Structure 1
Amino acid sequence: MSIDPSSIPNFGGQPEPEPAGPSGPVLPDQDLVKQLLEQMELKYVVDEEGDLAAPWEQFRTYFMFRGEEEQQVFSVRTFYDRPHGIEVKPQLLEVIDDWNRRTLWPKVYSHTNDDGTVRLIGEAQMLIGTGVSLEHFVSSTVSWVRASIEFDRWLIEQLGLETDAESGDDEKPGDDEV
């Protein structure tokens, strides 16, 4: 199965063309995601656990398949690398609660490390075990990537973090290692 390059939505806000491909359900796999990332001109790596990851300057987005057969789930999970001190966790929780109320994805939550630093994680999931339409899979994956980028920009604005916001380096993944 392949994705028609004209079907890949761009990141510039243009209307999204219809994908050409199978009319029935498809079972997405890692090769399909690689093809989609390549057509979106996003660099990616495969980590030591076999998951695909697109690294940006301040975050990494993983594309993972979990579960067995009819219960298989496709998950797009973004790990935001910017560390926050434990003292600002109440403010972070208030901000991410606001995001989660206003948006469908990614749903964002916090993780506190043993050293007291707080990091944020965003996630969206799709049940794919019985197959999904190619159009739905492509548009959802692209939307989730866009939303992950948008969350980082939004967080910078909400918290008044000017670092990284002006550089514009978060548009596409770079050569950062995961």
Structure 2
Amino acid sequence: MGWFDSAETGDSVRPISKERIEKIFDGQGWYYGRDDDDDVCGRWDGAPFFFLFMGQDQEILQVTARMAEEVPAEREDELASVIEDWHRDRIWPKAFYAPSEAGPLRIMTEVNVDYEHGATDAQLLQHVNCAIATSLSLFDHIRETLGIPKESDED
């Protein structure tokens, strides 16, 4: 009667997939969909989030988000300073910005984890919760620090 004699029960380590993420979202009662590129996507607090599978075997889960509001291009130095300060004090999320087609700066975040050896559902949920919470926290911090009014969330 050894520790490893019985079959494994419960949440086991398995390859990650879009279907597993969707099942986790269903279990949380979250609304989500798939975009034109067939990526899983959803909206939290007005911010669009995308759940991308990268790597040769689709083993990397990249949770990326975009702040709903944009920052005027003339405030780029201030925005860069806010993001640098954030990165100095916190691990997640990775944040960056780029000009939008209209000119203002669009803020984006990423939280990436390589699940080469698989993950449990609990690990995936922890990753997703971390990405959502830290991204929304950064977006709130940017709005507060730069005095940017929050767009109303009509979703």
TM interval, short-chain normalised:
0.7 to 0.9
Structure 1 runs not aligned, ≥5 long: 1-19
Q: Which residue of 1 aligns with 2:111?
A: 124
Decide which of 90, 99, 111 is 2:98's aligned counterpart: 111
| Contact map agreement 2:16 2:59 (CA 8 A) in 1 | no
| Contact map agreement 2:59 2:118 (CA 8 A) in 1 | no
Are 1:145 and 2:132 an aligned pair? yes
The normalised TM-score by structure 2 is: 0.83
Decide which of 44, 62, 67 is 1:80's aligned counterpart: 67
Aligned letter for 2:56?
A: E
Q: Which residue of 1 aligns with 2:43?
A: 55
Q: Which residue of 2 aligns with 1:68?
A: 56
| Contact map agreement 1:59 1:80 (CA 8 A) in 2 | yes
CA distance in 1 between partners of 2:26 and 2:81 (Å): 36
CA distance in 1 between partners of 2:86 and 2:29 (Å): 28
| Contact map agreement 1:65 1:74 (CA 8 A) in 2 | yes
CA distance in 1 between partners of 2:65 and 2:72 (Å): 19
Aligned letter for 1:110?
A: Y
Secondary structure of the equivalent of 1:38? helix
CA distance in 2 between partners of 1:111 and 1:154 (Å): 18
Shift of 1:56: 3.9
Shift of 1:110: 0.7
CA distance in 2 between partners of 1:141 and 1:56 (Å): 12
CA distance in 2 between partners of 1:67 and 1:148 (Å): 23
Q: Which residue of 1 aligns with 2:81?
A: 94
Identical residues among aligned pairs (%): 21
Shift of 1:133: 3.7
Give the CA RMSD over aligned residues.
Answer: 2.0
Shift of 1:26: 1.3
CA distance in 2 between partners of 1:72 and 1:48 (Å): 21
Equivalent pairs counted in the alignment come to 146
Shift of 1:114: 4.5
Q: Which residue of 1 aligns with 2:4?
A: none
The normalised TM-score by structure 1 is: 0.73
Which of these two proteins has the greater Rg computed from alpha carbons?
2
Any runs of at least 4 consecutive aligned residues in structure 1 with deviations exceeding 4 A, and if so which?
none
